Structure 1
Amino acid sequence: MTNGINTREMILEILLQIDEEGEHSHIAIRNALSKYQFLPKQERAFVTRVCEGTLEYRIYIDYIINSFSKITVDKMKPPIREILRSAVYQLKFMDRVPDSAVCNEAVKLAQKKGFYNLKPFVNGVLRTVARQMDELEYPSREKNLVKYLSVKYSMPEPLVLRWLNVYGEETTEKMLADFLEEKSLTVRCRTYLNSVEETCESLRAQGVTVEDAPYLPYAKKISDFNHILALDAFIQGKIMVQDVSSMLVAEIANPSKGDYVIDLCAAPGGKSLHMGDKMEGFGTVDARDVSQYKVDLIEENIHRAGAINVQAKVKDATVFDVDSECQADIVLADVPCSGYGVIGKKPEIKYRSTAQKQEELVILQRNILDKAAEYVKPRGVLIFSTCTIAKEENEENMMWFMNNHPFKLESIDEYIPDELKSETTALGYLQLLPGVHGTDGFFIARFRRK
């Protein structure tokens, strides 16, 4: 407890917000830490790690709890369930806090939340887990591969089965392992106004560790800082938070000075600003999104970057904009998707996946692509991208688009580094896989209007 703030109570409230209210994990954690900005770095790190870890390892943790509790996790009251989950995460994965303290704090929190009669239950389950956890038997790989991978890597069985069928055992396990790995933050150094080395020097001067990210010389991984909002390079717009996979969109789009670009689903604006930078301040990037909240995010980044050729507008990508018909040299359609490629950053995605949602997304994507096609000039370029690894949303929608619109795929080999070139990139598309390519899972296809 610091300054009257019980960090474990904070953790409970964040987890309930994510699990019961459907909030995104990064937003729930960010909002809570913003509310208590005076928390020391160590406490902030503790809250973040326990929240993220409890969420990432939920299936693994539930397997442990269900092995030692007479009441299964799904039958528990939500606050008790999250108290036990976060405590078991600490018992299993964190050595800094003694087991006895983890148990005691969990019991105290249960009482504080009005569950006085459940104190013995919470205490009994956690002390049994602490004593016997290392003796627990887990599912057998040989007898049930899907169950084994599901528990070991905390991934719902339907997703494990789907990826085994598409990508095979070796690649699937690489992806599952990668989702659980802690990663540095990836940023794009803006080469339009500053050299990469100048930006890196600024970061290092503030104690930040800077490493090369794969594929692109201006992509860097940064770590060992408390808050990105306190970094001069961020405040001055010299860096943009962006994964390498997302940076490849602008590389593959390859805009020219003076182009008119429409980015249909632009928030928070990383790709729009990258396009603007590649055009060196000339031309116009029309960065659009569906709500004022999302446009505010884009405008915040435009202002910080001092981008003079990027403008943000509220426009629904599913509604045809007659004024844009045949106007754009390049259209970016980074469409809403299942997000399976970024599960490592937003672990709640894996628990919210359903077959019905997948089908609805495919229809939504086709609706947006229908409109996007109309905005491209004759001989203009359309870039279709997603942050998922689902073939229904990627390759299958790519083929559907070509069969229904006067566009052809165009090789992307001249725009990407040699190590990413393959048979598919020669055709015009790239599927990046987590754990295989060193990036988020991401799909990019380049079309030319006939």
Structure 2
Amino acid sequence: MRLHRNLVFAVIDGLSDIFNNDKYADKVVQSLLKRDKRWGARDRGFIAETTYEMVRWRRLYAEIADVKQPFSREDLWRMFAVWAVLRGVKLPDWPQLAKTPSRRIKGKFEELSKIRKFKESIPDWLDALGEKELGRAVWDKEIAALNEQADLVVRTNTLKGTKQDLKKAFKEIEIETDSISGSKEALLLKERSNIFTTELFKNGLFEVQDASSQLVATFADPKPGNKVVDACAGAGGKTLHLAALMENQGQIIALDIYQNKLKELKRRARRAGAHNITPKWIENNKVIKKLHGKADIVLIDAPCSGLGVLKRNPDAKWKLTPEFLDNIKETQEKIISDYSKMVKPGGSLVYATCSILPSENQLQINKFLDSEIGKDFIFVSDRKILAHETGFDGFYMAMLKKNN
């Protein structure tokens, strides 16, 4: 690999924004890629992938480079040099990379690779928490899997065609895909590609959605004609899947506390041809009260730590705090208690998170079932998805039935 000065400078600029200005990696990368229209796919790929790699291994690289936050530009160059040496990239004769101690970098890497918090590049508190909740053996494997680059997976929009149709259409534009065991509508791209510019995307034939995330709507098992409440719909990834499973029949009420996310959901629904979705902004408790006892299925895709999706959001490791985790667990508990009231007798409550922590998952379900409101429900089943077992995101989902 030959390093190009303008691409590397873009990476350094991006890292400064992410590490020192607390900006989100995905937003920074999107902005960087617009900097020079002359950049081709390979140039853009270098910027995106290198930036994410540097974010993912921030602690390890900083320790090897012997630098601490806030990182100066000189510090960031030293960390970049670590990245290059460890990947066998030939360093150019640039002033910023002069006197890079390649042998010392490799020796320090060997030393730190024996210590999990450095090897997997995670904060002390998070490393301790993961081991406490999952056990050492599982945590060792899980955090290693979550540090791998996420695959690019799409969900076939069955409102507009079959998976085989989509696979064939991708092949016609020289994009090779594989089916994924256990995910009916999922296709895995063999190589990363900018699929958002394709006519297939513009015509709503697919949505980008991880294979594990696709299992949530299927787990909820909606039927055509059902009344379904997607209680934390956001921009509608799972809402659109519910609509497809329901064959555009019945009604999906998509709730969220953020109006801008519901606007995005409306736009995506139009593209997907999903016509049975009614977005509703939760501006006050009256919105929820009007739906008490009305829904065949209530899906709570709860806000969570997001630890199951570190593959695609590596900067979450550095933004997450113990205080946030405590607060989000309280929010989860309140949401289950309040939103469960929308389930009608005989209906289903589905709780899901993209977390791997039992304290956000099984323990929340147990706590709810032991509560006064939860006594009206019975546990049906749950599913724990770990990244090291599937290769995809970590998820949890549980189904409860309300007594008649």
> Normalization by structure 2: what TM-score?
0.91
Cα separation, partners in 2 of 1:172 and 1:282, compared to 1, 3 Å: same
Q: Say whether the 8 Å CA contact 2:309–2:394 is kept in structure 1.
A: yes
Distance 1:326 1:24 in 2: 39
Cross-structure match for 1:360:
327
Out of 405, 408, 430, the residue aligned to residue 377 of structure 2 is: 408
Cross-structure match for 2:396:
443
Counterpart amino acid of 1:100? Answer: P
Q: 1:303: how far off?
A: 1.6
- Say yes or no: does 1:16 pair with 2:16: yes
Out of 272, 283, 290, the residue aligned to residue 323 of structure 1 is: 290
Distance 2:129 2:173 in 1: 45
Q: Say whether the 8 Å CA contact 1:50–1:90 is kept in structure 2.
A: no
Equivalences for 1:382-393 in 2 at 5 Å?
Answer: 382-393=349-360
Distance 2:117 2:200 in 1: 40
Shifted more, 234-243 versus 79-88: the winner is 79-88
- Say yes or no: does 1:379 pair with 2:346: yes
RMSD: 2.3
Counterpart amino acid of 2:386? Answer: L
Cross-structure match for 1:278:
245
Cross-structure match for 2:75:
81
- Say yes or no: does 1:135 pair with 2:107: yes
Q: Say whether the 8 Å CA contact 1:51–1:86 is kept in structure 2.
A: no
Counterpart amino acid of 1:50? Answer: T
**Any idea what SS the aligned residue of 2:45 has?**
helix
Shifted more, 432-441 versus 155-164: the winner is 155-164
Which deviations, in whole Å up to 9, do the C-alpha atoms of 1:295-344 show, x marking residues without a partner? 22212211210111123232258776222222211111111100000111
Gap runs ≥5 in structure 1 = 67-71, 108-121, 142-147, 412-427
**Any idea what SS the aligned residue of 1:377 has?**
strand
Out of 79, 91, 94, the residue aligned to residue 99 of structure 1 is: 91
Percent sequence identity over aligned pairs: 24
Counterpart amino acid of 2:383? Answer: L
Q: Say whether the 8 Å CA contact 1:373–1:382 is kept in structure 2.
A: yes
Counterpart amino acid of 2:160? Answer: L
Which deviations, in whole Å up to 9, do the C-alpha atoms of 1:411-438 show, x marking residues without a partner? 3xxxxxxxxxxxxxxxx11111111233
Q: Say whether the 8 Å CA contact 1:333–1:383 is kept in structure 2.
A: yes
Which deviations, in whole Å up to 9, do the C-alpha atoms of 1:350-372 show, x marking residues without a partner? 11222211110011112221221
Q: Say whether the 8 Å CA contact 2:228–2:296 is kept in structure 1.
A: yes
Q: Say whether the 8 Å CA contact 2:150–2:392 is kept in structure 1.
A: no
Out of 399, 404, 407, the residue aligned to residue 366 of structure 2 is: 399
Q: Say whether the 8 Å CA contact 1:331–1:376 is kept in structure 2.
A: yes
Shifted more, 237-246 versus 225-234: the winner is 225-234
Q: Say whether the 8 Å CA contact 1:207–1:224 is kept in structure 2.
A: no
- Say yes or no: does 1:226 pair with 2:193: yes
Cα separation, partners in 2 of 1:321 and 1:5, compared to 1, 3 Å: farther
Cα separation, partners in 2 of 1:7 and 1:292, compared to 1, 3 Å: farther
Corresponding residue pairs, total: 397
Q: Say whether the 8 Å CA contact 1:259–1:283 is kept in structure 2.
A: yes
**Any idea what SS the aligned residue of 1:436 has?**
helix
Cα separation, partners in 2 of 1:55 and 1:29, compared to 1, 3 Å: same
Q: 1:5: how far off?
A: 9.4
Q: 1:442: how far off?
A: 0.6
Cα separation, partners in 2 of 1:36 and 1:192, compared to 1, 3 Å: same
Cross-structure match for 2:303:
336
Distance 2:98 2:376 in 1: 63
Cα separation, partners in 2 of 1:37 and 1:302, compared to 1, 3 Å: farther
Cross-structure match for 1:116:
none
Cα separation, partners in 2 of 1:313 and 1:39, compared to 1, 3 Å: farther
Q: 1:391: how far off?
A: 1.6
**Any idea what SS the aligned residue of 2:390 has?**
coil
Gap runs ≥5 in structure 2 = none
Q: 1:225: how far off?
A: 4.8
Q: 1:160: how far off?
A: 2.1
Distance 2:47 2:285 in 1: 39
Counterpart amino acid of 2:111? Answer: Y
Q: 1:267: how far off?
A: 2.0
